[in-house]
Amino acid sequence: MNHTDQFKVVVTPGGADFFRCALNIPEDAVSVEFEYSYFPEYGKGGKNEIDVALTGKPVSAYGVESDIGTRGSAVKRFVVSERYSTPGFKRVTPSAISSVVIGHGRLYSEAVEVTVKWRTESKERRFYAGDPHTHSVNSDGALSRLALMKKAKRKGLDFICVTDHNRPVSGELPAVEGITAIEGVEVTLYNGHANFLGVTDPYTGSFSVENIDQWRRLAAEARAKGAFIEVTHPFCKLCPWRWELTADDFDGAEVMNGPPREDNLANAGWWKEQLKTKRLTPLGGSDYHRDYLFVSTLGMPTTFVLADSFEKKDILEGIRKGRTAVAVSKKRGAIELHAGEATVGDEVAFTGNNTVTVRVPYMKKGEKLKITDGTGVLKEVVAWRNGELVTDAVPREKGAFYAEVVSAYRGVKRFIFDVLLSFMLPQDAFKPHPEFIFALTAPIYFV
């Protein structure tokens, strides 16, 4: 729930240099935006000088709270959150702010009324859209990390993971308002690739391990530090996973890498087979390096994470709990599964008459919704028009219950797809194509 408030204070020449106004920002606030103004701006002889700063704990030995930031009178709107703060302010949780400090320099009026307004944004449980597999100039990408995040914002994404080849993030990623930046690295070896998400410097020593046992020790160290381990494009024709491929080594799998294509059928097929014995979070990443002609593949596909907020820790928690859905683009939205109060990633007692509502926010006419339970394909529905599709299904057996949208490229879109493939995977371009996966959801697990 969002909250707005304000206060006013009158400052006068010869009065105290600073006025400290205590705040009580809700604990569940994830972002706070401040604006201030004062009247009159000008007096006899010049412009009145008013500054605003923020302070919080800890308190110094001489009884003054620590600075969170200030921009003087040059900036009258500023934002503070853990994912982004206006330059000049620390990235902190809003509840860490305990006071607004009003300061004045030269005043040319007998009294100046200062108004400070603020608006908090609270946690909101919903699907957040992002791209967990991208590259910058720190490896072989075309954009700087800052430019990459600005592009993600223009694409309407909520979060992005920077996963440069063998180049972990050290320190803080650049901050862009409206984008949650998550540290990552794609450990890139001649026998396979894997993303380590969520921590800086996930391992000591070098990435250049020689065998699967050494790789497992590297991954174990990263996991102990809190990293989420994801096998990326395991069945890519160019760079597949060549070592022993076992689900026990991973927390998640990249079921869709780049645009829909044959490799992704194999990636998703392997993931589906593992669901019989292991819960792996499905993710989709663009593996973005650069634009191709007039096509930008950033966010193609998009991973949707059901999380309590846009904060990094909440996005990562949603990924760890398997609360994800993947679609070829953000426009498609996340396929939703609801069995009573349960949703993707949840475990539900199987009764034989559980009803699951499947909601697909957007399908194109002629596309097919496939619903799978612990026995196999349970139901297929062909969209008769463009738009939302909602249907119910009753699982026949215990196991993973999930849904996917499949379709084939046709007409102009097929030609554009083949042109794109000619740059990325020329061996797959301009030949007959099967139905591809355009959207996929993580399961509800009936036990």
Q: Are residues 81 and 203 in the same domain?
A: no
How many independent structural domains does the chain possess?
A: 2
Q: Which two tokens stand for residue 222?
A: 């990263």
**Segments forming the whole domain that contains residue 281:** 126-446
Q: What is the pTM of this model?
A: 0.92
What's 8's domain CATH number? 2.60.120.380
Report which of 376, 374, 391 is spatially closest to residue 338, judged by C-alpha positions.
391
Report which of 394, 401, 384 is spatially closest to residue 440, judged by C-alpha positions.
401
Q: Which of the listed residues 106, 122, 138 is the one where a domain comes to its end?
A: 122
Residue for token pair 């612990």: 374
3-state per-residue secondary structure call for 28-71: CEEEEEEEEEEECCEECCEECCEEEEEEEEEECCCCCEEEEEEC
Q: Which of the listed residues 81, 105, 122 is the one where a domain comes to its end?
A: 122
DSSP 8-state assignment for residue 239: S
Q: Are residues 183 and 110 in the same domain?
A: no
What's 421's domain CATH number? 3.20.20.140
Q: Are residues 264 and 327 in the same domain?
A: yes
Per-residue pLDDT of the chain (447 residues; tens, 9 = 90+): 678 999 999 999 988 899 999 998 999 999 999 999 999 999 999 999 999 999 998 887 787 889 999 987 778 999 999 999 999 999 999 999 999 999 998 999 999 999 999 999 999 999 999 999 999 999 999 999 999 999 999 999 999 999 999 999 988 899 999 999 999 999 999 999 999 999 999 999 999 999 999 999 999 999 999 999 999 999 999 999 999 999 999 999 999 999 888 899 999 999 999 999 999 999 999 999 999 777 789 999 999 999 999 999 999 999 999 999 999 999 999 999 999 999 999 999 999 999 999 999 999 999 999 999 999 999 999 999 999 999 999 999 999 999 999 997 777 677 777 777 777 778 777 777 779 999 999 999 999
Q: Which of the listed residues 88, 122, 156 is the one where a domain comes to its end?
A: 122
Q: Are residues 60 and 14 in the same domain?
A: yes
Alpha-carbon distance of 303 to 284, in angstroms, equals 5
Q: Are residues 46 and 185 in the same domain?
A: no
